[in-house]
């Protein structure tokens, strides 16, 4: 598509293994176990030390080690096989999903997101929104959907979490080394690092452009940390979701308006814009301006932008929608509205929510008005979003739902555990991945003997506990921390005990502490002689969210409290890596948000796919997935009064009456066959339906293929 990318040098790499340089620079390896194995086989210790980052490993390894690998025939055979698969994958650009478009080769979607959760080595995410975006673009790559992605280079990421002895979340600052990850510079025509000026903003802001290759999808990252910028501007892309409102506004100007300018500088033609949440919505102002400059009337410009813009809203939580006060908008957009042939009021009204007209410019309201295709991320969330935003269309609402929905899904190759994948290869056939969104395929799960599925699960559980204990040991050794901290980090976990996992961002609506409501009742469940339970927690609070940090402290202190029998653990620094181990290795995945605040939820899908059933409040995706056999659902309904108490009581009840007895009921071979049945139902009912493949196909059918009919020469 463009030839700006110059491969980064790995000086120690022998020519015979030259392909590893290409492989390391494309995240394709991250969802292909055979490719990861290719790196691991060179040197297991170095692979581990790099935290599974080929780019870093190839830089750090001495030449002798790489040359030794190049001389081993079995390694070379394997190398040639994986490289040929990679080349074949990259060469296949045919997408069969746009049969209706006049000229399918003209369709390109520009996808904008403030975060991308792709791999542990790239700290460009905070939580679910990022993983959704990451899984989305990986699946677009697998399906050859012609998409390019735009995001931020955040050198400080989100939060690196360490819990103090008093249980308080501390943030440690870790700078990303841009040379030690699968990120490459994008160069301009003169061979210099491409730098673009954000249009209209004065004083000027410059962004440097980087690229991550996500299979066939290029992800362009904007970086303001360059010499051309003054210190305030340099900090714009320092980390995700900066608390300061003005800096946040500047962030969103850079992402939306700067992002469009970057695509233009790269001569990347695109015809559809998809906004993943409202942070990048200013991109639509650039689209309007472009059209007006190309001779469209104002009405034509608006119509055409709407016809070619998709907007996905992701949360009913009010704090999840940015609203910028009008004086701030004046400061940055005073020169912009004349270029749209608008006066101040008309311009600002584009972002006014009629229920709160004085609050400011609401990014979601703006994006909804300017997008012809809008959706929430589950059936329930679609309904909730319609209620939330119906004021926007007062009087001019068209027939049918104003906000549609596409339920989220997870990228199966990313989230399936490799041992589980081998088991599926054996019983679903070696080609199951190619057909994984076919529901009939998953009926074959019943072919797996209970014992084999159970043994695989126990193996993954032990692997999880080994990882947790290793982290606790390092904390104990490196930090000289108090012994109770090492215990709270999971030293006492027992693989024979029923293990509940709870891991997500510590936003208060997710109610991480719900299970602690009745400490005595919980203490009894944890302290039973027979059939005890244990709980593993993980998650980060936003640095500005003190209620979230207090909730976290409560849990950490419970983990340190001997009254809870050493059966509560808190794992620090939740991120992609720990998420992988947890969703593969616990026995039950717990989800208890205050409904209807969880728009969808995706971690439970990752768990279910691996045979870890979910126990959840009926909210988000669980309302579509729960069928009475694939997990558990508990709910106090919308009773007024103490919903936390009611929900907690129901949670204890489902644990006491259903989950615990079923788990410990084993046959003469030690297999809990009733439990394994639930595991199988969990896999069968989620693997196809809640895959990113099903999701991406739906976006193409519902939105992209329609928008493709209205594309013009203008971006
Ligand atoms: C999947 C995932 C999430 C999102 O999980 P929810 O269930 O939507 O809260 C957040 N963080 C990480 C690290 C994940 O892998």
The CATH number of the domain where 489 resides is what?
A: 3.40.50.2000
Same domain? For 360 and 280 the reply is yes
505 and 556 fall within a common domain = yes
Query: Percent of the chain beyond pLDDT 90?
Result: 86
pLDDT of 586: 98
Q: Listing from the earlier edge strand, what are the strands of the sheet with 614-616?
A: 568-571, 533-538, 498-503, 588-591, 614-616, 631-633
User: What band does 179 get if pLDDT is binned at 50, 70 and 90?
Assistant: confident
Residues 43 and 129 in one domain: no
Between CA 160 and CA 541 the distance in angstroms is 11
Q: Which residues of 699-708 are buried (b: 16+ CB within 10 A; e: fewer)?
A: bbebbbbbbb
Ligand 1 contacts (CB < 6 A) are 127-128, 131, 504, 574-576, 579, 601-603, 606
CA distance 655 to 525: 9
Same domain, 386 and 495: no
Q: Could you tell me if 81 and 136 lie in one domain?
A: no
Residue 101: pLDDT over 60: no
Task: Please report whether residue 419 resides in a domain.
Answer: no
Q: How many residues does the chain have?
A: 715
Q: What is the pLDDT of residues 292-312, one digit of tens each?
A: 999 999 999 999 999 999 999
Mark whether 682 and 705 lie in a shared domain.
Answer: no
Which residue among 116, 117, 571 is best mutated to probe the pocket of ligand 1, counting the most ligand atoms within 8 A of its Cβ?
117
Q: Which atom of ligand 1 is nearest to the CA of 575?
A: 13
What is the predicted pLDDT for the residue at 143? 95
pLDDT class of 157 with cuts at 50, 70, 90: confident
User: In the listed set 62, 91, 120, which residue is the last one of a domain according to the structure?
Assistant: 91
Q: Are residues 601 and 643 in the same domain?
A: yes
- Please give the pLDDT value at position 102: 57
Task: Name the residue at shortest CA distance from atom 5 of ligand 1.
Answer: 603
Residue 99 has pLDDT above 80, yes or no: no
Whether 6 has a pLDDT exceeding 50, the answer reads no
User: Among residues 644, 597, 640, 642, which one has the least CA distance to residue 618?
Assistant: 597
Establish if 666 belongs to a structural domain.
yes
Handedness of CA 3, 118, 58, 417 (dihedral sign): negative
> In whole angstroms, what is the distance from residue 466 CA to residue 103 CA?
54
Taking residue 245's Cβ as centre, other Cβ atoms within 10 Å add up to 14
Query: If DSSP codes are grouped into helix, strand and coil, which group holds residue 208?
Result: strand
Which of 66, 91, 116 is the last residue in one of the domains? 91
Question: Based on C-alpha coordinates, what's the Rg of the chain?
Answer: 25
**Six-digit token pair at 406?**
């596409």
Q: What is the DSSP letter of 198?
A: P
Ligand 1: which atom is nearest the Cα of residue 578? 13
Domain span at residue 607 reads 450-690
Residue 416 lies in a domain: no
- Across 613-642, b (16+ Cβ under 10 Å) vs e yields bbbbbbbbbbbbbbeeebbbbbbbeeeeee
CA of 602 to the centre of ligand 1 (A): 6
Over range 580-589, report the average pLDDT: 98
Q: Are residues 79 and 115 in the same domain?
A: no
The CA 538 to ligand 1 mean position distance, Å, reads 11
What would the two tokens of residue 710 be? Answer: 């209205």
Q: How confident is the model at residue 399 (pLDDT cuts 50, 70, 90)?
A: low
**Token digits for 75?**
């390694």
- Confirm whether 428 is domain-assigned: no
| 98 within domain boundaries | no
- Beta-carbon contacts of residue 539 (< 8 Å; ≥ 6 apart): 502, 503, 504, 505, 506, 512, 552, 574
Q: How far is the C-alpha of 134 from the C-alpha of 140, rounded, in Å?
A: 10
Report d(CA 25, CA 158) in Å as an integer.
23
Can you point out the beta strands (E) in 391-443? 404-405
Is pLDDT larger for residue 451 or for residue 93?
A: 451
Helix and strand tally (H, E) in the chain?
31, 20
Neighbours of 306 (CB within 10 A): 17
User: Taking 90 as the threshold, does the pLDDT of residue 637 lie above it?
Assistant: no
167-176 LR contacts (CB < 8 Å, sep 24+):
167/552, 167/553, 167/554, 167/556, 167/557, 167/560, 168/549, 168/553, 169/540, 169/541, 169/549, 169/552, 169/553, 171/543, 174/123, 176/123
Whether this prediction's pTM lies above 0.75 is answered by yes
How many Cβ atoms from other residues are within 10 Å of residue 37's Cβ? 14
Residue 70 has pLDDT above 90, yes or no: yes
Whether 336 has a pLDDT exceeding 80, the answer reads yes
Instruction: Evaluate whether residue 443 is within a structural domain.
Output: no
Residue, of 713 and 596, whose pLDDT is higher? 596
Q: Are 618 and 597 in contact (CB under 8 A)?
A: no
CA of 117 to the centre of ligand 1 (A): 9
Contact between 212 and 27 (Cβ < 8 Å): yes
Query: Cβ distance 471 to 571 under 8 Å?
Result: yes
Largest CA distance in the chain: 79
**To 5 degrees, how large is the angle CA 563–CA 566–CA 572?**
120
CB 332 within 8 A of CB 249: yes
- Strands (DSSP E) along 558-698, which ranges? 568-571, 588-591, 614-616, 631-633
Whether the per-residue pLDDT at 669 is higher than 50: the answer is yes
Tell whether 430 is covered by a domain.
no
156 and 200 housed in the same domain: yes
Query: What is the predicted pLDDT for the residue at 379?
Result: 97
Q: What is the mean pLDDT of residues 578-605?
A: 96
Instruction: State the pLDDT at residue 203.
Output: 83
Which of residues 91, 120, 141 is at a domain's end? 91
Substitution candidate for ligand 1 out of 314, 378, 504 with most atoms within 8 A of CB: 504
Percent helix, strand, coil in the chain, to 5, is 50, 15, 35
Tokens representing 217?
């999808």
Helical (H) or strand (E) element with 684: helix 673-686
Q: Which of 415, 585, 602, 610 to mutate to test the pocket of ligand 1 (most atoms within 8 A of CB)?
A: 602
Residue 4 has a pLDDT of: 35
Distance 504 CA to ligand 1 centre (A): 6
Centre of ligand 1 to C-alpha 571, Å, is: 15
Residue located nearest, by CA, to atom 3 of ligand 1:
128
Phi, psi (degrees; rounded to nearest 5) at 386? -60, -40
Nearest atom in ligand 1 to 600's CA:
8
84 with 113, same domain?
Answer: no
Structure confidence at residue 50 (pLDDT): 95
Mean pLDDT (the chain, rounded): 93
- For the CA of 504, the nearest atom of ligand 1: 9
Helices 363-370 & 379-389 angle (0-180, nearest 10): 100
Number of structural domains in the chain: 3
Closest CA to 126 of 24, 277, 3, 235: 277
* Nearest one of 267, 191, 185, 253 to 221, comparing CA atoms: 185
Tell me: do 702 and 632 sit in the same domain: no
Distance of CA 43 to the CA centre of its chain: 30
Average pLDDT over residues 27-31: 97
Section 423-427 average pLDDT: 97
Q: Please tell me the predicted confidence (pLDDT) of residue 144.
A: 94
Mean pLDDT value of segment 203-211: 95
Ligand 1: which atom is nearest the Cα of residue 598? 8
Do 660 and 498 meet the contact criterion of CB atoms below 8 Å apart?
Answer: yes
| Residue 426 tokens, joined | 């054996």
- DSSP secondary structure string, 546-605? HHHHHHHHHHHHHHH-GGGTT-EEEESS-SHHHHHHHHHH-SEEEE---TT--S---HHH
CB 149 within 8 A of CB 220: yes
Both 118 and 60 in one domain: the answer is no
Instruction: Give dist(CA 231, CA 695) in Å, integer.
Output: 41
When mean pLDDT is compared across 256-270, 497-511, 515-529, 635-649, the lowest value belongs to 635-649
Q: Is the pLDDT of residue 587 over 90?
A: yes
Partners of 275 in the beta sheet?
112, 311
Share of the chain above pLDDT 70, in %: 96
How many angstroms is it from 537 CA to the middle of ligand 1?
Answer: 13
Which residue, 176, 116, 122, is CA-closest to 141? 116
Does 1 score more than 50 pLDDT? no
**pLDDT, tens digit (0-9, with 9 covering 90-100), for 131-152:** 999 999 999 999 999 999 999 9
- Structural domain contains residue 202: yes
The rounded distance, in Å, linking the Cα atoms of 464 and 646 is 32
Atom number, ligand 1, closest to the C-alpha of residue 410: 1
């Amino acid at each position: 598509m463009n030839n700006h990318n110059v491969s980064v040098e790995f000086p120690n790499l022998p020519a015979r293994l030259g392909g590893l340089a290409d492989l390391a620079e494309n995240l394709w390896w991250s969802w292909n176990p055979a490719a990861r194995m290719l790196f691991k086989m060179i040197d297991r210790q170095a692979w581990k030390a790099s935290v599974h980052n080929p780019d870093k490993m190839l830089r750090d390894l001495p030449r002798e080690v790489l040359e030794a690998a190049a001389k081993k025939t079995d390694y070379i055979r394997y190398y040639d096989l994986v490289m040929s698969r990679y080349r074949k994958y990259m060469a296949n650009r045919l997408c069969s999903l746009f049969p209706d478009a006049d000229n399918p080769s003209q369709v390109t979607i520009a996808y904008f997101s403030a975060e991308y959760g792709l791999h542990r080595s790239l700290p460009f995410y905070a939580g679910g929104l990022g993983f959704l975006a990451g899984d989305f673009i990986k699946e677009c790559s697998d399906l050859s959907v012609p998409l390019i992605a735009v995001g931020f280079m955040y050198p400080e990421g989100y939060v690196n979490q360490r819990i103090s002895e008093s249980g308080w979340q501390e943030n440690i600052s870790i700078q990303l080394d841009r040379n030690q990850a699968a990120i490459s510079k994008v160069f301009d025509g003169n061979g210099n690092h491409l730098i673009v000026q954000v249009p209209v903003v004065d004083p000027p802001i410059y962004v440097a452009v980087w690229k991550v290759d996500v299979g066939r999808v290029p992800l362009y990252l904007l970086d303001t940390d360059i010499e051309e910028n003054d210190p305030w501007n340099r900090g714009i892309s320092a980390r995700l979701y900066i608390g300061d409102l003005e800096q946040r506004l500047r962030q969103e100007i850079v992402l939306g308006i700067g992002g469009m300018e970057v695509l233009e500088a790269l001569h990347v033609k695109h015809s559809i814009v998809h906004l993943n949440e409202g942070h990048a919505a200013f991109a639509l102002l650039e689209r309007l301006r472009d059209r007006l400059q190309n001779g469209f009337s104002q009405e034509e410009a608006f119509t055409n932008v709407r016809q070619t813009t998709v907007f996905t809203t992701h949360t009913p939580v009010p704090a999840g929608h940015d609203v910028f006060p009008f004086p701030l908008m004046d400061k940055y957009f005073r020169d912009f509205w004349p270029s749209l042939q608008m006066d101040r009021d008309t311009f600002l009204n584009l972002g006014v929510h009629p229920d709160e007209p004085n609050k400011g410019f609401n990014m979601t309201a703006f994006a909804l008005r300017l997008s012809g295709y809008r959706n929430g991320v589950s059936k329930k969330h679609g309904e909730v979003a319609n209620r939330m935003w119906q004021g926007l269309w007062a009087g001019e609402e068209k027939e049918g739902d104003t906000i549609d929905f596409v339920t989220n899904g997870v990228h199966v190759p990313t989230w399936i555990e490799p041992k589980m994948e081998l088991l599926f290869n054996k019983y679903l056939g070696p080609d199951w991945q190619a057909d994984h969104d076919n529901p009939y395929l998953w009926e074959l799960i019943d072919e797996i003997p209970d014992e084999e599925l159970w043994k695989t699960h126990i193996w993954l559980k032990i692997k999880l506990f080994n990882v947790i204990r290793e982290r606790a040991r390092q904390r104990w050794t490196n930090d000289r921390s108090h012994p109770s901290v090492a215990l709270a980090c999971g030293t006492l976990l027992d693989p024979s005990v029923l293990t509940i996992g709870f891991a997500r961002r510590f936003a208060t609506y997710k109610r991480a502490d719900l299970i602690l409501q009745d400490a005595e009742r919980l203490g009894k469940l944890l302290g039973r002689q027979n059939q005890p339970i244990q709980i593993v927690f993980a998650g980060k609070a936003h640095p500005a969210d003190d209620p979230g940090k207090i909730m976290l402290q409560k849990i950490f202190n419970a983990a340190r409290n001997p009254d809870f029998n050493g059966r509560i653990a808190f794992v620090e620094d939740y991120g992609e890596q720990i998420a992988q181990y947890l969703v593969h290795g616990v026995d039950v995945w717990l989800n208890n948000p205050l409904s209807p605040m969880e728009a969808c939820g995706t971690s439970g899908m990752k768990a279910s796919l691996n045979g870890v059933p979910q126990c959840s409040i009926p909210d988000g995706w669980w309302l579509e997935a729960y069928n009475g056999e694939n997990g558990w659902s508990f709910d106090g309904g919308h009773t007024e009064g103490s919903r936390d108490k009611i929900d907690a009581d129901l949670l204890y009840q489902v644990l006491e009456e259903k989950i615990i007895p079923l788990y410990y009921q084993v046959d003469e071979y030690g297999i809990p066959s009733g439990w394994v049945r639930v595991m199988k139902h969990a896999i069968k009912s989620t693997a196809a339906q809640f895959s990113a493949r099903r999701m991406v196909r739906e976006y193409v059918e519902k939105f992209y293929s329609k928008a493709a009919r209205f594309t013009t020469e203008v971006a």
